[in-house]
Amino acid sequence: MSKSNPKVTIGIPVYGVEKYVERCVRSLFSQTYIDVEYLFVDDCSTDDSVNIIKGLIEEYGIPNARVLRHEVNCGLVEARNTVIANAQGKYLMWVDADDWVENSFVKDAIETIESTDYDVVCFGYKIHYIEGEVDVNYPVFSTAREYLDSILLSNSPYEVWNKIAKTSIYQENNIHSEPGCNVAEDFVMSSKLLFFSKKTCTLQKLLYHYNKQNPNSYSSVNEEYRYHSYWKSYESLERFFADYPSFLQKLQTTGAYQIVADLVEYSKCTQKKYYYQSKNRIILLPRRAIEKMSLPRRLVIFLSGVKVFMVPYCRLAHYVRRKDWM
């Protein structure tokens, strides 16, 4: 493996994953493709995660592996930003430290992206729940813009760790997420990545293992943090697409759907402050985003007491009787 100018950089944010990180690192260091730079970003982890990583680097004798340490805990977003700033590989991939990958993770991805000089290649993954496993085969898109449209409308997954992309797209376009956007940060970064890309394709292989059994992951954070961080991520994308009405409208449609989901969720729990905050967000939505909603979703808004529209009673009654109205 070359010490300089590696073909691929893999970024691995690290925080509080001592229970899972050995499995992750061993899967990385067992890759069949070896021209790889590994950037582990220690976000001031307070457990033994970093010592485990350093021990495995020594055990496997990996010369192109570095541990970059933040002076203070900055969160997942800043860890990703640190990787982008320091990546030396032509291509960039991501792995979360509580997940793991197939041995051909890099080989299959690099062969595909170089076959026709693609900007981004996506691949499938397997989700591991406590209750069982689910295979996710990625949809096929003819262009990056088609994929971006699908993400903005919440019709497709938006993870960054099931992609390989040209590092230059990240670095030359200053692609990053804002500090504090640690929930849905993939939504922000993938949207920006696809906006600046042209050619993309889908590799129909399950190369990544997504661990949903870690109670300390960002996908399992407390409700208050999740709520505010999601909307901070959403608002950062609103600013990014402010001069692109077509993309902005699609994003706002997703925002409207999320508000409806929040209204339903928080009406059933003790966290009523999020219910009222969601009602306030409705008022800020452009009218077209509400008008494009299905009647069942508009009914949820109507029942919340926000009088932003009226719907004929007979049409509402039809949907109320349906079991699948949400």
Cβ atoms of 141 and 194 within 8 Å: the answer is: no
Contacts of 117 (CB under 8 A, 6+ apart): 199
Q: What is the DSSP string of 202-215?
A: EEEEEEEEEE---T
Amino acid 326: pLDDT: 42
Q: Token pair 């021990």 is at which residue?
A: 55
CB count within 10 Å of CB 256 equals 23
Angle at 134 between CA 268 and CA 15, to 5 degrees: 75
Specify the DSSP element, H or E, that contains 39. strand 36-42
- How far apart are the C-alpha atoms of 227 and 125, rounded to whole Å? 26
| The predicted structure's pLDDT at residue 144 | 94
Dihedral of CA atoms 28, 190, 13, 104 in degrees, nearest 10, equals 0
Got the DSSP string for 89-153? Answer: SSEEEE--TT-EE-TTHHHHHHHHHHHTT-SEEEEEEEEE-SS-EEEEPPPP-SSHHHHHHHHHT
What per-residue confidence (pLDDT) applies to 215?
64
Of the candidate CATH numbers 3.90.550.10, 3.40.250.10, 3.40.640.10, 3.40.50.300, the domain formed by 8-220 belongs to 3.90.550.10
Q: What is the DSSP letter of 221?
A: -
Dihedral sign from CA coordinates of 118, 120, 124, 125 = positive
CB atoms within 10 A of CB 159: 18
Q: List the structure tokens of 46.
A: 């307070």
What is residue 14's predicted lDDT score, i.e. its pLDDT? Answer: 96
Name residues whose C-beta falls within 8 Å of residue 176's C-beta, 6 or more positions apart in sequence: 77, 80, 81, 84, 189
- Tell me phi and psi for residue 163, to 5 degrees: -135, 150
Q: How far is CA 41 from CA 70, 221, 282, in A?
A: 7, 20, 38
Q: What is the pLDDT along the chain (326 residues), one digit of tens a residue?
A: 445 689 999 999 999 999 999 999 999 999 999 999 999 999 999 999 999 999 999 999 999 999 999 999 888 999 999 999 999 999 999 999 999 999 999 999 999 999 989 999 999 999 999 999 999 998 889 899 999 999 999 889 899 999 999 999 999 999 987 777 778 889 999 999 999 999 999 999 999 999 998 766 555 456 667 777 888 888 899 999 999 999 999 998 888 777 777 777 766 666 667 666 776 776 777 777 767 666 666 666 666 665 544 444 344 444 444 444 44
What's the CA gap between 215 and 221, in Å, rounded?
A: 8
Give the number of other Cβ atoms within 10 Å of residue 101's Cβ: 21
Q: How far apart, in whole angstroms, are the C-alpha atoms of residue 194 and residue 142?
A: 12
Numbers of helices and strands, H then E, in the chain: 13, 9
Instruction: Compute CA 227 distance to the chain's CA centroid, rounded to the nearest angstrom.
Output: 16
Q: What is the pLDDT of residue 26?
A: 98
What is the phi-psi region of residue 127: left when phi exceeds 0, alpha when psi lies from -120 to 50, beta otherwise? beta
